[in-house]
């Protein structure tokens, strides 16, 4: 389940005492029962205790007296049970026979204690859970570094995270930022830490430890929001690798100027796939196969092995080398400068998905 999304804390504000603001906390995966279910169980237990007390008093109502008229009705039984269980005790209705007083001592009094423990326990649990949540949040932020922050958990964001995990990313090193509670809950169910809030806000980005992040993936529905988030992320973390999805190709240069390392035009990519599929269904099938995971063809990147050093890309067995990364520069397989593989090279390959890992 998803834990509460905020914590109120006091901000200093001079002699007037400051103001109360909401601080976003990370929402970590949790398998506990929902708060509504826990509250419902406690309410049912409390009502059960009250019903038992009412039954005891009403069945033995002749052993009680009411100072107003001497008669104890069903309503009087509910009234007496309520004020007794809650320890209010006005004293207008009292047990008068010895056995009624004995029943109050050995049955009603323990029920009263149980009711109070239930009431106090609920309050303490709320306080303990909030304290536990703050502790988990602080511990998580202290140890989180070189992680991946995904801003926007819609269709593109879910696909991006799924691809990252399929290619070896640790789910515990993935942090989701989204302003939709349903998306936060879904991310938690899949085992990802998540923060509910606006990704354009610096405070939300800081709560995700964006300063220590290795990768940042921005998949928002609006290009203007994506540009603002990119600028903010780049200011907070100049060294992170930032990948941004943009809807309109005209906004791609502006995103690159804002600090994005890679810009993916989603509408153009979909349109190109549609066009290739129209020109040749086989082309569309191959491209879609490369984009899918865990079956068919797979695109991957890996380090050149010792046995491959000194060989050409054509001599690599079991895979097709399509590019070589040397000195952090991507070079296509036909580039004569990478005709021979060297130590430290990274190769981008097309391979059978079953061979991954």
What tens digit of pLDDT does each residue of 302-311 get? 999 999 999 9
CA distance 292 to 309: 30
Confidence grade of residue 4 (pLDDT, cut at 50, 70, 90): very low
What domains lie within the chain, and their CATH numbers? 35-137 (1.10.287.70), 145-270 (3.40.50.720), 296-355 (3.30.70.1450)
Q: Is 44 exposed, middle or buried (0-12, 13-18, 19+ CB in 10 A)?
A: exposed
Give pLDDT tens digits for 62-112. 999 998 888 899 999 999 988 888 878 788 888 989 988 899 889 888 888
Q: What is the DSSP letter of 49?
A: H
Query: Which helix (H) or strand (E) covers residue 54, if one does?
Result: helix 35-59
Q: Across the chain, where does the E strand assignment appear?
A: 6-11, 19-24, 64-66, 93-95, 148-151, 174-178, 193-196, 215-218, 241-246, 262-265, 297-303, 320-326, 329-332, 346-352
At 347, is the secondary structure helix, strand, or coil? strand
**Residues 159, 165, 168, 170: is their CA dihedral positive or negative?**
positive
Looking at 185-199, 207-221, 261-275, 312-326, which range is the least confident one? 261-275
CA distance 190 to 59: 53
Which residues, in sequence order, are CB contacts of 79 under 8 Å at separation 6+? 93
């Amino acid at each position: 389940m998803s834990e509460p999304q905020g914590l109120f804390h006091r901000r200093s504000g001079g002699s007037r005492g400051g103001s109360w603001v909401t601080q976003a906390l990370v929402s970590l995966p949790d398998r506990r029962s929902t708060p509504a279910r826990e509250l419902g169980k406690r309410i049912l237990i409390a009502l059960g205790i009250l019903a038992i007390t009412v039954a005891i008093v009403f069945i033995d109502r002749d052993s009680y007296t009411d100072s107003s008229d001497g008669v104890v009705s069903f309503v009087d039984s509910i009234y007496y049970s309520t004020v007794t269980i809650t320890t209010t005790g006005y004293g207008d209705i009292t047990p008068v026979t010895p056995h009624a007083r004995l029943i109050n001592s050995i049955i009603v009094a323990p029920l009263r204690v149980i009711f109070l423990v239930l009431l106090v326990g609920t309050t303490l649990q709320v306080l303990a859970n909030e304290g536990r949540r703050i502790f988990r949040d602080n511990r998580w932020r202290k140890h989180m570094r070189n992680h991946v922050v995904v801003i926007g958990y819609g269709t593109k964001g879910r696909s991006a995270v799924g691809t990252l995990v399929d290619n070896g990313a640790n789910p515990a090193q993935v942090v989701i930022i989204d302003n939709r509670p349903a998306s936060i809950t879904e991310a938690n169910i899949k085992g990802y830490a998540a923060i509910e809030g606006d990704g354009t806000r610096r405070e939300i980005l800081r709560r995700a430890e964006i300063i220590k992040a290795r990768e940042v993936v921005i998949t928002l529905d609006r290009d203007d929001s994506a540009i603002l988030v990119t600028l903010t992320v780049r200011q907070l973390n100049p060294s992170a690798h930032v990948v941004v999805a943009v809807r309109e190709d005209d906004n791609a240069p502006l995103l690159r100027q804002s600090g994005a390392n890679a810009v993916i035009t989603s509408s153009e990519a979909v349109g190109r796939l549609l066009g290739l599929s129209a020109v040749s269904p086989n082309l569309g099938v191959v491209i879609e196969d490369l984009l899918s995971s865990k079956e068919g063809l797979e695109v991957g990147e890996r380090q050149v092995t010792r046995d491959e050093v000194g060989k050409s890309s054509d001599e690599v067995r079991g895979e097709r080398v399509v590019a070589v990364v040397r000195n952090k520069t991507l070079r296509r397989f036909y580039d004569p400068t990478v005709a021979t593989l060297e130590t430290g090279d990274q190769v981008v390959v097309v391979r059978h998905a079953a061979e991954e890992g």
